[in-house]
């Protein structure tokens, strides 16, 4: 198509560039530059000393150091465990919640509003809330379980490395479920009701309808939910910072938190950036999957083949 | 278990599950609120002392007044939030609109890159930013904090608003742009409620009713035509038509032409409903068609029309004029439609924005009424307010055949023109407007051999007898390509009848055409012959915007009825001179 000065389309395109430019400039400044700087920092031995940054090129040394760093290993394991279990749990529970809210008794704005409450809470406020709930001496969780006779002495929820990681997982899942449930609920409501009626006429029971109508209809929303939730689980930081600061015994140190600790507590800018870069690569791959899954062209082609 | 018992158990199960859901979703929040209302002493007992007597707002008084640091924090938050929200909405909405609509080169890559940045752990972006901000002495300022927040709010704003802008039909923006709105005005106006073209007529009367007006200013000077979506393809369209008929009865409208009569712009000419020198307003942009008779015809909006019907008046800015001086003669196989397409290509889709486009010059007297109606019709595609021909002998004889006495009417001898565009007709080739804008015009020779799935002859632009005759001339004794569908819709019942008398309909049916009822047909994408994704249509109508005739992935090419008929014959875009004047085209079919 041509781009001469009389072309209406051409002028619209130029206006478009003008409209995009401010956003690109800001994003270059606050995102692209820091990211590029961070990528470069990964190849440097950089420390903060005397108010200034001193740095020296050391090639891949930061990445080699990672391989033999037991804390990095722990953080990687914790991150992968946290992400894997959280994605499974959040998707399963969200699907149950979505099905419940799609049921005739569960419809109506009230339940959706209730669902939005945990989602609307600020991450740090959520962490503070759960820290108080988990408090070993005065926490409501111990009080309830003692009253019900499910435990006979107070449990120090955040005192054992593996238990603390799992308790953190519950607090994060509680906040993550609403969004994913809404995503799946919207997907459920897009499944045409005639498919259910047709399945019923063909003699499908409720399990068969779920397995062969609901689940295939939710394929794209579930895929989106898996990728989004993986990214968010990998990025968890506020909870670790407020609840455990990575303890006990590095039991809740995840990659994002480790990058922060190495950078800001140990002032080892280069190594911290290298850890962040590893996390970036993992999340970037997930993001690529997300964008490809959502690409309307591909979806249409797939729908066309079906 | 009986089915009834099972159902009842199921219902109770769901209710129990909902209760569990409520407790789990709200429990932690409720506990947080209760905690905030109790003194520390009550909470540090085992079990905690939850007696209502202990509830107080002391903790809130403490942070708000006694310690007094919350108000400061709230003000800080408010300032940073306002600054961040304003910056990200202003910058983000502009970018989102451009990425959604204005076909910025590489927009998909930009969006992907923008999203990818969100994969970077935010904590570490903070290090280089901190270094930069401290060099700029911006640390501890609202601006620095806002800029940092922008790094993720801006991305979210761009992605969300882009989706929103994409959900608005692009035709609306095109229409706004044609009507003279700048990109920014379009931006503001497209948020207005969206309605089908057929809704306009009903909407006008509804507006009057809602304003408490029960009669029009002059019921003999109002024409109501049902031409979009006829016969009604859906219950919703039928409902709109039904409402229009009710309004026509209640308001006592003198000229009512129901579905099947034809397209309003053709009927105005054919039934002599407007005279040279008069002003004609219609709730359809192609009302400029009447300019062929020297009538000042132009399209207006629904609410403007309600005002016209109530008062008989409307405010206009007199448009500057552009004179198109037509010289020479059209070669065989070239039509007036080709001339207006070529003009659109030369001036651009907004080349005559809010201008009166006047056609003059020695060649005007050669132009038949059908050709003039096509050209005036498409004047609006160049953004023109009017598309005027002088009312000469040809006009007066056309009108007198229809029982209308009129005086000659033309430009003042001392008329001032903003611009004079010369157009030499003898050098003109058949033209094709390529997707997706009317000004994306090329000579047919440049685009021959593009395969097409559908061909359409009809609409207020080219649904006249002359157009059907040229199609008949090309298709007589031949058959359209097996992979191509040819749709034909006459612009009025009178044309349909005459075509039947001349044997044209018989001839076109024998050539494999589908004859649609008279009306707007598929031209505006309402019904009858919509396109699937990836399909190509060549049409003798007037707009080829994205999504205009069905799928946004379809492509629409605009051309003269001769080119459309020749293309239908070969299943690909074809120069009509190959069929009717092979010698002139210098080729054999």
Nearest CA distance, A27 vs chain B (angstrom) = 6
**Could you tell me the two tokens for B384?**
């023109």
How far apart CA B295 and CA B408 sit, in angstroms, is 11
Q: Does B59 touch chain A (CB under 8 A)?
A: no
Q: Is the peptide bond before A248 cis (omega within 30 degrees of 0)?
A: yes
Task: Tell me the three-class secondary structure of B95-118, residue by residue.
Answer: HHHHHHHCCCCCHHHHHHHHHHHC
Collapsing DSSP states into helix, strand and coil, what is residue B82? helix
- CA geometry: angle B166, B168, B172, nearest 5 deg: 125
Q: How far apart are CA B9 and CA B2, in angstroms?
A: 11
pLDDT (tens digit, 9 = 90+) per residue, A83-135?
Answer: 999 999 999 999 999 888 888 777 767 888 888 788 778 788 888 889 888 98
Copy the structure tokens of residue B530. 């919509």
Contacts of A105 in chain B (CB under 8 A): 11, 14-15, 18
Per-residue confidence (pLDDT) for residue B198, from 0 to 100: 34
Cβ(A288)–Cβ(A294) under 8 Å?
A: no
Q: What is the pLDDT of residue B47?
A: 65
Residues of A in contact with B101 (CB under 8 A): 12, 16
B53 and A CB contact within 8 Å: no
Structure tokens at A277: 């870069």
For residues B400 and A17, the model is more confident at B400
**Tokens (6 digits) for B367:** 């132009």
Tell me how far apart the alpha carbons of residues B421 and B437 are, in angstroms, rounded to a whole number.
21
A23, A106, A269 ranked by CB distance to B158: nearest? A23
B439 chain-A contacts, CB cut-off 8 A: 6-9
| B119, A283 Cβ separation under 8 angstroms | yes
Mean pLDDT of B214-228: 89
Whether residue B203 contacts residue B195, with contact meaning beta carbons closer than 8 Å, is answered with yes
B119–A105 CB contact, under 8 Å: no
How close B128 comes to chain A (CA, Å)?
A: 5
User: Which residue, A85, A47, A70, A72, is CA-closest to A277?
Assistant: A72
Cα–Cα distance measured from residue B126 to residue A34, given in angstroms and rounded to the nearest whole number: 8
Query: Pick from A38, A117, A147: which is nearest to B124 by CB?
Result: A38
Q: How far is A122 from chain B (nearest CA, A)?
A: 12
Query: Can you give the pLDDT at residue B122?
Result: 74
Whether B185 has a pLDDT exceeding 60, the answer reads no
Q: Is there a contact between A114 and B147 if contact means CB atoms under 8 Å apart?
A: no
Q: Give the pLDDT confidence of B94-146 residue by residue, as tens digits.
A: 887 788 777 777 777 777 777 777 677 776 677 778 777 877 888 788 888 88
Written in H, E and C, the secondary structure of B334-368 is CCHHHHHHHHHHHHCCCCCCCCEEEEECHHHHHCC
Among B25, B114, B126, whose Cβ lies nearest the Cβ of A115? B25
Nearest-CB residue to A283 (from B11, B99, B119): B119
A164 within 8 A of A244, measured Cβ to Cβ: yes
Q: CA A185, CA A55: separation in Å to the nearest integer?
A: 51
User: Which of B19, B127, B442 to mutate to test binding with chain A, by most A CBs within 10 Å of its CB?
Assistant: B127
Compute CA distances B234 → A155, A194, B193, B526, whole Å: 66, 20, 21, 10
Cα B542 from Cα A109, distance rounded (Å): 46
**Among candidates A41, A121, A237 on the partner chain, residue whose Cβ is nearest the Cβ of B123:** A237
Q: What DSSP string runs through A75-124?
A: HHHHHHHHHHHHHHHHHHHHHHHHHHHHSGGG-SHHHHHHHHHHHHS-HH
> What is the 3-state composition of chain A as percent helix, strand, coil, each rounded to the nearest 5?
75, 5, 20
Across the interface, whether the CB atoms of A117 and B183 are under 8 A apart is answered no
- Residues of chain B positioned with their CB less than 8 A from the CB of A22: 91, 94-95
* Maximum pairwise Cα distance, chain A: 83
Contacts with B348 from chain A: Cβ below 8 Å: 6-8, 11
Tally of CB atoms within 10 A around B143: 13
Q: What is the DSSP letter of B494?
A: H
Whether B18 has its CB under 8 Å from any CB of chain A: the answer is yes
Nearest to A27 among B44, B105, B114 (CB): B114
- Chain A nearest CA to B172, separation (Å): 15
B439 touches chain A (CB under 8 A): yes
Judged by CB atoms closer than 8 Å, whether chains meet at B95 and A22 is answered as: yes
Query: In sequence order, what are the residues at sequence separation of 6 or more whose Cβ sits closer than 8 angstroms to the Cβ of residue A130?
Result: A167, A170, A171, A174, A239, A243, B28
- In a 3-state reduction of DSSP, which class is residue B137? coil
- What's phi and psi for A49, nearest 5 deg? -145, 130
Q: Is the pLDDT of residue B175 over 80?
A: no
Instruction: Extract the tokens encoding A111.
Output: 């339940």
Chain B residues touching residue A8 (CB < 8 angstroms): 177, 348-350, 437, 439
pLDDT digits (tens, 9 = 90+) for A162-187: 999 999 999 999 989 988 888 888 88
8 Å CB contact between B468 and B575: no
b (16+ CB within 10 A) / e for B177-194 = bbbebebeebbebbeeee
Half-sphere exposure of A206 (CA within 13 A, CB side): 5
Number of A to B CB contacts under 8 A, please give it: 218
Question: Which chain A residue shows the shortest CA-CA distance from B22?
Answer: A114
User: Cα(B550)–Cα(B524) distance, rounded to whole angstroms?
Assistant: 9
| pLDDT surpassing 80 at residue B50 | no
Among A157-161, B46-50, B418-422, name the most confident range. B418-422
Give the gyration radius of chain B's Cα atoms.
Answer: 32
Q: Is B83 on the interface with A (CB under 8 A)?
A: no
Mean pLDDT of B337-349: 95
pLDDT digits (tens, 9 = 90+) for A205-261: 888 888 888 888 888 788 878 888 888 888 888 889 888 888 788 888 998 899 888
What is the residue-averaged pLDDT of chain A?
83
Query: With 60 as the cut, is the pLDDT of residue B199 above it?
Result: no
Q: Is B183 on the interface with A (CB under 8 A)?
A: yes
Which B positions 155-174 lie with beta carbon below 8 A of chain A?
Answer: 155, 158
pLDDT band at B586, cuts 50/70/90? very low
Query: Percent of chain B beyond pLDDT 70?
Result: 87
Answer whether A117 sits within 8 Å of B121, measured CB to CB.
Answer: no
Assess B89–A contact: CB distance below 8 Å, yes or no: no
The pLDDT value given to residue B195: 28
B529 phi/psi in degrees, rounded to 5: 95, 40
Angle A285-A289-A291 from CA coordinates, rounded to 5°: 115
- Residue B419: predicted pLDDT: 95
Q: How far is B578 from chain A (nearest CA, A)?
A: 26
Nearest to A42 by CA among A281, A284, A303: A281
Low-confidence winner among B112-121, B167-176, B301-310 (lowest mean pLDDT): B167-176
Quote the minimal CA–CA distance from A98 to chain B in Å. Answer: 11
First-to-final CA distance of chain A: 33
Is the Cβ of B1 closer than 8 Å to some Cβ of chain A? Answer: no
pLDDT at B516: 96
Task: State which H helix or E strand residue B516 sits in.
Answer: strand B513-516
Helices (H) and strands (E) in chain A, counts: 16, 2
CA distance A161 to chain B (A): 23
pLDDT mean over B383-407: 94
Distance CA(B26)–CA(B30), nearest Å, equals 6
Count of CB atoms situated within 10 Å of the CB of B283? 21
Cross-strand pairs, B419: B322
Q: Is B104 on the interface with A (CB under 8 A)?
A: yes
Residues of chain A with Cβ-Cβ distance to B35 below 8 Å are 132
In terms of average pLDDT, the best of A186-195, A233-242, B47-56, B434-443 is B434-443
Alpha carbon distance B321, B359 (integer Å): 10
Interchain CB contact of B101 with A (< 8 Å): yes
pLDDT at site B588: 44
Distances (CA, A) of A146 to A150, A151, A153, B26, B46: 6, 5, 7, 21, 10
Nearest to B552 by CA among B234, B170, B176: B170
Q: Is residue B4 packed enough to be buried (19+ CB in 10 Å), middle (13-18) or exposed (0-12)?
A: exposed
- Whole-number Å distance between alpha carbons of A155 and A137: 9
Listed in sequence order, the residues at least 6 apart from B106 whose beta carbon sits closer than 8 Å to its beta carbon are none
The 3-state secondary structure of B265-298, one letter per residue: HHHHHHCCCCCCCCEEEECCHHHHHHHHHCCEEE
Q: How many residues does chain B have?
A: 589
User: CA-to-CA distance for B58 and B49, rounded, in angstroms?
Assistant: 16
Cross-chain Cβ contact A15/B98 below 8 Å: yes
Nearest to B99 among A20, A178, A235 (CB): A20
> Helices A123-134 and B3-37, interaxial angle, to 10°?
90
Q: Which of residues 524-543 of B touch A (CB under 8 A)?
A: 533
Residue B203 CA to residue B32 CA, distance in Å, equals 52
Token pair 């399945």: residue:
A199
Q: Closest CB to B26: pick one of A27, A114, A235.
A: A114
Contact between B117 and A32 using a beta-carbon 8 Å cutoff: yes
- Residue B163: its pLDDT value, please? 65
Q: Is B437 on the interface with A (CB under 8 A)?
A: yes
> What are the backbone angles phi and psi of residue A56, rounded to the nearest 5°?
-150, 135
pLDDT tier, B518 (very low <50, low <70, confident <90, very high otherwise): very high
Closest chain B C-alpha to A280 CA, distance in angstroms = 5
Question: Of A6, A29, A140, which is closest to B348 when you measure between CB atoms?
Answer: A6
Residue among A105, A272, A291 whose CB faces B115 most closely: A291
**CB-CB: which of A23, A260, A284 is closest to B92?**
A23
DSSP string, B206-249: HHHHHTT--S-S-GGG-EEE--TT-S--SHHHHHHHHHHHHHHH
Torsion of CA B490, B496, B499, B505, to 10 degrees: 80
Q: Which residue in A19, A132, A269 is closest to B127 by CB distance? A: A269
pLDDT in tens, B255-300: 999 999 999 999 999 999 999 999 999 999 999 999 999 999 999 9
- Mean pLDDT confidence for B398-411: 92
Q: Do A114 and B101 touch (CB under 8 A)?
A: no
Closest-CA distance, B86 to chain A, in angstroms, reads 13
Look-up: residue for tokens 């993001």? A287
Question: Could A117 and B351 be called an inter-chain contact, meaning their C-beta atoms sit closer than 8 Å?
Answer: no
What the block records as the tokens of B163 is 């989706």
Q: Rounded mean pLDDT of chain B?
A: 85
| CA-angle at B85, arms to B84 and B90, nearest 5° | 105
Range name among B163-167, B178-182, B360-364, B517-521 with the lowest pLDDT average: B178-182
Least confident of A272-286, B313-327, B561-575: A272-286
């Amino acid at each position: 198509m041509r781009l001469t000065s009389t072309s209406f389309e051409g002028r619209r395109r130029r206006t478009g560039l003008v409209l995009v430019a401010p956003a690109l400039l800001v994003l270059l400044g606050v995102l692209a530059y820091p990211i590029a700087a961070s990528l470069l920092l990964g190849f440097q031995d950089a420390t903060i000393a005397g108010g200034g940054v001193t740095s020296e090129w050391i090639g891949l040394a930061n990445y080699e150091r990672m391989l033999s760093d037991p804390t990095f290993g722990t953080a990687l394991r914790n991150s992968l465990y946290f992400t894997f279990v959280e994605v499974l749990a959040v998707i399963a529970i969200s699907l149950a919640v979505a099905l419940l809210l799609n049921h005739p008794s569960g419809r109506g704005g009230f339940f959706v509003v209730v669902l939005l409450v945990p989602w609307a809470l600020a991450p740090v406020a959520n962490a503070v809330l759960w820290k108080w709930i988990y408090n070993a001496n005065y926490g409501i969780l111990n009080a309830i379980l003692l009253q019900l006779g499910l435990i006979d002495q107070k449990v120090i929820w955040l005192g054992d490395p593996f238990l603390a990681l799992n308790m953190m997982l519950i607090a994060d899942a509680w906040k993550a479920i609403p969004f994913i449930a809404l995503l799946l609920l919207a997907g459920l409501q897009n499944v045409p009701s005639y498919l259910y009626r047709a399945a019923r006429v063909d003699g499908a029971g409720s399990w068969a309808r779920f397995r062969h109508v609901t689940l295939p209809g939710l394929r794209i929303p579930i895929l989106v939910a898996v990728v989004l939730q993986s990214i968010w689980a990998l990025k968890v930081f506020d909870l670790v910072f407020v609840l455990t600061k990575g303890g006990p015994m590095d039991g809740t140190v995840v990659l994002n938190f480790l990058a922060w600790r190495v950078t800001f507590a140990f002032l080892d800018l280069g190594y911290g950036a290298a850890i962040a870069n590893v996390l970036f690569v993992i999340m970037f791959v997930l993001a690529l999957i997300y964008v490809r899954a959502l690409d309307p062209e591909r979806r249409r082609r797939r729908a066309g083949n079906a | 278990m009986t089915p009834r018992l099972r159902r009842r158990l199921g219902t109770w199960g769901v209710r129990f599950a909902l209760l569990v859901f409520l407790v789990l979703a709200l429990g932690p929040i409720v506990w947080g609120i209760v905690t905030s209302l109790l003194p520390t002493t009550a909470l540090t007992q085992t079990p905690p002392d939850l007696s209502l007597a202990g509830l107080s707002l002391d903790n809130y008084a403490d942070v708000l007044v006694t310690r007094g640091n919350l108000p400061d924090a709230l003000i800080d938050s408010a300032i940073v939030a306002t600054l961040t929200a304003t910056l990200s909405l202003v910058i983000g909405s502009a970018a989102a609109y451009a990425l959604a609509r204005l076909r910025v080169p590489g927009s998909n890559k930009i969006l992907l890159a923008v999203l990818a940045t969100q994969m970077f752990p935010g904590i570490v972006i903070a290090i280089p930013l901190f270094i930069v901000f401290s060099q700029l002495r911006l640390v501890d300022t609202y601006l620095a904090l806002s800029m940092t927040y922008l790094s993720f709010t801006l991305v979210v704003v761009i992605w969300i608003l882009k989706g929103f802008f994409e959900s608005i039909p692009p035709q609306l923006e095109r229409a706004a742009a044609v009507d003279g709105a700048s990109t920014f005005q379009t931006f503001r106006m497209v948020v207005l409620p969206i309605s089908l073209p057929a809704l306009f007529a009903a909407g006008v009367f509804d507006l009057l009713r809602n304003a408490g007006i029960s009669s029009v200013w002059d019921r003999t000077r109002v024409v109501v035509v049902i031409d979009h979506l006829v016969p009604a393809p859906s219950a919703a369209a039928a409902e709109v038509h039904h409402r229009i008929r009710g309004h026509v009865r209640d308001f006592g409208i003198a000229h009512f032409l129901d579905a099947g009569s034809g397209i309003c712009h053709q009927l105005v000419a054919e039934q002599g409903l407007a005279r040279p020198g008069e002003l004609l307003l219609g709730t359809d942009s192609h009302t400029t068609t009447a300019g062929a008779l020297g009538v000042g015809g132009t399209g207006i909006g629904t609410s403007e029309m309600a005002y016209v019907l109530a008062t008989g008046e409307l405010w206009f800015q007199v448009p500057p004029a552009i004179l198109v001086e037509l010289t020479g003669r059209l070669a065989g196989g070239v039509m007036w439609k080709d001339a207006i397409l070529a003009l659109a290509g030369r001036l651009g889709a907004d080349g005559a924005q809010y201008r009166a486009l006047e056609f003059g010059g020695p060649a005007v007297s050669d132009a038949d009424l059908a050709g003039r109606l096509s050209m005036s019709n498409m004047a609006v595609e160049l953004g023109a307010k009017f598309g005027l021909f002088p009312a000469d002998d040809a006009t007066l004889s056309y009108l007198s055949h229809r029982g209308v006495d009129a005086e000659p009417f033309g430009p003042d001898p001392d008329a001032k023109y903003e611009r004079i565009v010369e157009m030499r007709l003898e050098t003109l080739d058949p033209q094709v407007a390529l997707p997706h804008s009317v000004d994306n015009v090329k000579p047919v020779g440049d685009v021959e051999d593009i395969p097409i799935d559908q061909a359409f002859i009809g609409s207020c632009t080219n649904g006249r007898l002359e157009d059907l005759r040229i199609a008949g001339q090309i298709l007589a004794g031949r058959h359209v390509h097996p992979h191509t569908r040819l749709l034909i819709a006459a612009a009025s019942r009178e044309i349909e009848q005459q075509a039947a008398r001349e044997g044209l309909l018989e001839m076109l049916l024998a050539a494999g055409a589908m004859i649609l009822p008279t009306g707007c047909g598929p031209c505006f994408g309402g019904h009858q012959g919509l396109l699937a994704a990836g399909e190509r249509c060549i049409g003798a109508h007037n707009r080829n915007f994205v999504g205009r005739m069905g799928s946004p992935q379809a492509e629409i090419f605009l051309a003269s009825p001769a080119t459309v008929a020749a293309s239908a014959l070969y299943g690909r875009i074809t120069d009509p001179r190959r069929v009717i004047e092979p010698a002139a085209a210098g080729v054999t079919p």
